[in-house]
A and B are shown apart, each in its own frame.
Chain A
């Protein structure tokens, strides 16, 4: 206080002489119309009270009333009022005018994030398929059904028991390709055997495909039935790969099997065991080389193997031959007569009774004879095919072929049609199958490729 008064006093004296000193910001500047008070008056404490009254509002308002044509007293002074006091009830009542919030620096901003639009999806699964079934269950319907079933069962049993005909001079019909049939069941079995042979070959050729002919592993004999072609009906595991098989004509449950290791076995399908009924071993003179083809005739088994022996089982009588046999066929009507085709290309006509020599030899082909087949109808005619691209038709009394067909590719198999004596089919190694019909005396040959 002393400082200020001194300064004030000093500056007053200066003001009188000079202009106001503005240099120092902190120094108080004294306006020129400041009251000059004595020191005693300066120290006097004056109390000031703060009221809510509007300090700017004039205390004495005079209004002129035109009605009374005179000045009226007691005009109302505009006071602050309750609305402006904070925390009072009146200030919280809804105000008529909107309050302006910070008129100098206030702006409203709003923002809304992007909401993904909503989609409705629904799905209905397809119900499991349904079907209707209706029937009647009566005593007679049931009875009839059982009767029928019993009859069917008995029929099956009868068919499996073949009637053994023991006449030796009876003509045995050969079944090379299972086309001729006697019963329905026989066809089915034969057909199944066809599939089976393919299966068997598959088992074999698997190994061959790996180029390992010498290392044939175990094989399997599998029978499928037409009634259930998806799973084999009978399975026989064998020690060696199975190369060929044939089914007995009358006793359709007997199967003769030739193995890669040269042995021959006979399986009885009716028996439950998995072993062969008869198996040829080294003792009984089995072949040393793979058995390529065997035919089950009546009760005898003729097997042909690569090592040139044509042996008759189960006795094991052997027919000596010079060359190696590759194909075999029995005459349709004359049971003891059969043809053997050799690796050298010759065809021998042999008889079961003469086991030491051939009846006839035909110089047939230049390479191995792949198949020899008697004609089903003509008792003198047979056909042969070989890898020298030719198919030849012979009369067995004549040593030269009657017809020769050049097929331009190695022929692997040939067969007569079962319905006609003049139609045969030949298969070549390039995958084509040729069907040829020959008419007897007229040497016209129709050649048509039927499938590839």
Chain B
């Protein structure tokens, strides 16, 4: 039991250590992609415990910067199918266990 407990801890540490933002799928232009990714990372780090606030921050910033209307989903376990405007979708992983999906569709 202790062994598995330690194993889990190692895993969690390992994931946290390697918690670079990993873009899974996107069709944004380079500049927009970088900016959005950094925004997501900032938001997730700021609201590490509250996904809703993080999503709110991301959505509002995106609306201001790139126009309405954006949608943001943050979570650890979900499936989705969305219709998005072309070149306005970002789907990335962060922190070893968080998935963030940001898309625009008015």
Taking beta carbons and an 8 Å cutoff, which residues of A are in contact with B?
128-139, 141-143, 145-146, 149-150
The CA-CA distance from A138 to B24 in the complex, in Å, is 13
The CA-CA distance from A136 to B82 in the complex, in Å, is 12
A145 pairs with B18, CB closer than 8 A:
no
A131 pairs with B101, CB closer than 8 A:
no
B79 pairs with A135, CB closer than 8 A:
yes
CB distance from A331 to the nearest CB of B (A): 46
The CA-CA distance from A134 to B82 in the complex, in Å, is 6
CB distance from A139 to the nearest CB of B (A): 6
A133 pairs with B82, CB closer than 8 A:
yes
A149 pairs with B22, CB closer than 8 A:
yes
Residues of chain A within 8 A (CB-CB) of B93 are: 137, 142, 145-146
The one of B20, B80, B98 that contacts A134, using a Cβ cutoff of 8 Å: B80
CB distance from B39 to the nearest CB of A (A): 19
Given contacts A142-B97, A143-B15, contact A137 B75 (CB under 8 A): yes
Residues of chain A within 8 A (CB-CB) of B89 are: 133
The CA-CA distance from A56 to B55 in the complex, in Å, is 107
B77 at the interface (CB under 8 A from A): yes
The CA-CA distance from A129 to B105 in the complex, in Å, is 10
A146 pairs with B78, CB closer than 8 A:
no
Place the interface of chain B in its size category.
Answer: 20 to 34
A-B contact pairs, 22 of them (CB 8 A): A128-B86, A131-B84, A131-B86, A132-B84, A133-B25, A133-B103, A134-B79, A134-B80, A134-B81, A135-B80, A136-B79, A136-B80, A137-B75, A137-B99, A139-B77, A143-B15, A145-B22, A145-B24, A146-B15, A146-B18, A146-B22, A146-B93
Residues of chain A within 8 A (CB-CB) of B82 are: 132-134
B77 pairs with A138, CB closer than 8 A:
yes
B81 pairs with A132, CB closer than 8 A:
yes
Binding site secondary structure of chain B: strand
Known: A131-B83, A146-B18. 11 other contacts (CB 8 A): A129-B86, A130-B84, A131-B86, A132-B82, A133-B81, A135-B91, A137-B79, A142-B99, A145-B93, A146-B93, A149-B22
B76 at the interface (CB under 8 A from A): yes
Residues of chain A within 8 A (CB-CB) of B79 are: 134-137
Residues of chain A within 8 A (CB-CB) of B105 are: 130
The CA-CA distance from A135 to B80 in the complex, in Å, is 6
CB distance from B44 to the nearest CB of A (A): 13
CB distance from A228 to the nearest CB of B (A): 9
The CA-CA distance from A136 to B81 in the complex, in Å, is 9
Taking beta carbons and an 8 Å cutoff, which residues of B are in contact with A?
15, 18, 20, 22, 24-25, 75-86, 89, 91, 93, 96-99, 101, 103, 105
The CA-CA distance from A149 to B97 in the complex, in Å, is 14
Residues of chain B within 8 A (CB-CB) of A139 are: 76-77, 97
B77 pairs with A137, CB closer than 8 A:
yes
The one of B25, B75, B76, B83 that contacts A132, using a Cβ cutoff of 8 Å: B83
Residues of chain B within 8 A (CB-CB) of A143 are: 15, 96
CB distance from B71 to the nearest CB of A (A): 12
The one of B78, B81, B83, B86 that contacts A137, using a Cβ cutoff of 8 Å: B78
Residues of chain A within 8 A (CB-CB) of B83 are: 130-132
Residues of chain A within 8 A (CB-CB) of B20 are: 149
Given contacts A130-B86, A143-B15, contact A137 B101 (CB under 8 A): yes
Given contacts A135-B80, A136-B78, A137-B78, contact A146 B96 (CB under 8 A): yes
Residues of chain A within 8 A (CB-CB) of B78 are: 136-137
The CA-CA distance from A138 to B97 in the complex, in Å, is 8
* Nearest 6 A/B pairs, CB to CB: A137-B99, A134-B81, A136-B79, A129-B86, A128-B85, A132-B83
Residues of chain A within 8 A (CB-CB) of B24 are: 135, 145
Residues of chain A within 8 A (CB-CB) of B18 are: 146, 150
A130 pairs with B80, CB closer than 8 A:
no
B77 pairs with A130, CB closer than 8 A:
no
A130 pairs with B15, CB closer than 8 A:
no
CB distance from B69 to the nearest CB of A (A): 12
The CA-CA distance from A135 to B103 in the complex, in Å, is 13
The CA-CA distance from A141 to B15 in the complex, in Å, is 13
Q: Which single residue of chain B is at the shortest CB-CB distance from A228?
A: B30
Residues of chain B within 8 A (CB-CB) of A142 are: 76, 93, 96-99
